[in-house]
Amino acid sequence: MASKAKKTTALLLASLMCAGAFAGCGGNGGTTTSTASGSSAGSTESTASTASTASSAGEASIPTVAEITERLKTEAKDGKISLKVWAPSNSKDFVKSMVEKFKTTYAVDGVTYEIKVVEKGEDKCINSLTEDSSKGADVFQFPTDQLLTGINAGVLAEVPTVFQGQISSENMEDAVKNCTYENKVYAYPMTSDNGYFLYYNSSKFTADDVKSFETLLDKAAKQKVQAFMTISDAWYTASFFYAAGCDIKLDTATQKMDLIDFDTDKGVAATKAMADLVNNNKDSFVSTGDNAAILTLLSSGKLQAVVTGTWNTPAIENAWGKENVAATKLPTVKMNGTDTQLHSFGGYKLIGVNSASKFPLASATLATYLTGPEVQQERYNQLKVIPTNNDILASDALKNDPIQKAIEAQRPYSHSQSVCTMKFWDPVASVGTDINNGNLKSSDEAGIKAALQKVVKSVEQG
């Protein structure tokens, strides 16, 4: 069914091009393998971004609503266009409201839209489609690290040529690269804040207090409050390994990962740093739990500093009061007696179109609309997430946004998570889980080395 949908898309695009209604764009460049760098200002460029977007993309004409709606008439079946959209719980209502605006903006004479918005986490969409794309949503959100998985599984439809000019001209160059693989664009950039940093209550801590994790936790203990950073989730556990000088490489052709120095003295230093934070700060440091745990701790009043991302901004503002919410890059931690800056994963959140969609042009049009300037602005206004649109990023509101400033402060220490396949997450998370369960202690160097060797073997050979 996926291949049939792709052929349908191709036929639609061919008719568009033959009609001369839209200008196209081509690609230039070759395939390379990119890796994260644990010792330099890591770019968030996706490993899947093996080629730049077409040089002519910025010159391509942007189709008008009238031109698109005229073509949508031919795609409707019995006067209907039926779509399903997956959206995460924290933005489901927002997506619903934007879908209603889409229906009005792209109203087609004689055609009724039936668009259902269904809750599904961004991290689960690609996996669900790989199981059975025919039952999946037409339009969905996903993080950059899953782009290559979606492409290899054949579940991501290419972005129609007619929309590529708009995507390339309106959004951050790096965001567009993260939607691109081997000269083909497979996704629509939505947000530029798929990473994490430190939020803190400025009525409890000063800017100097939060520069060091050790100082932050000491101040928290004295006030009988808590700080949170899970180390049982590899997305966060990696912070310590990158900070220690470890690295991750991915061969995109074979999908083989290499964990560089994870099982050497550098990896041991990272593990010891995590263990010391946990074991030396039992009352003030919460080191395990998911997003629901963060929300529970916020509502209890005990949590006054948290490593998380923009998806929790509304909840944090509600708990502390907007005037007390401050944010900054991640703090330092002691590694081998030296204050060492924590690193992070960073990237983008994208919108994709199911290659098995029975309405490929309508799906692509909706995806373009949901990532267009109007919706990106509304998404920022309502959900406080950071856009990829160049004009919005250049506005005074974004330039003065403390969250955006924190993201930019963390960016030099941020790495693309696109170097990680699904084999990475569980084995690396097990290191933090073993620390939290008391199975790994900083004094047990032999045990740490054995655990790290097991992790490397599982990721590289599993």
Tally Cβ neighbours within 10 Å of residue 111.
Answer: 18
Two tokens at 115? 């668009």
**Residue 82, pLDDT above cutoff 90:** yes
Query: Do 222 and 212 touch, CB atoms closer than 8 A?
Result: no
Give the pLDDT score at 253.
85
pLDDT (tens digit per residue) in 266-313: 999 999 999 999 999 999 999 999 999 999 999 999 999 999 999 999
Residue ranges per structural domain of the chain: 2-18+44-192+347-388, 197-345+405-461
Spatial separation of the C-alpha atoms in residues 258 and 460, rounded to whole Å: 6
Span 124-138, average pLDDT? 96
- Are the folds of 2-18+44-192+347-388 and 197-345+405-461 the same? yes
Q: What is the pLDDT of residues 419-458, one digit of tens each?
A: 988 899 999 999 999 999 999 999 999 999 999 999 999 9
* In the block, residue with structure tokens 């934007």: 98
C-alpha closest to that of 252 among 153, 152, 349: 152
Distance from chain centroid for Cα 174? 13
Residue-wise pLDDT tens digits, 231-269: 999 999 999 999 999 999 999 888 899 999 999 999 999
Class of CATH domain 197-345+405-461: alpha beta
Q: What is the Cα–Cα distance from 125 to 89, expressed in whole angstroms?
A: 13
CATH class of 2-18+44-192+347-388: alpha beta
- Assign 299 to helix, strand or coil: helix
Q: How many CA atoms lie within 13 A of 245 on its CB side?
A: 9
SS3 at position 33: coil
pLDDT per position as a tens digit, 6-62:
333 333 433 333 333 333 333 333 333 333 333 333 333 343 433 333 333 344 568
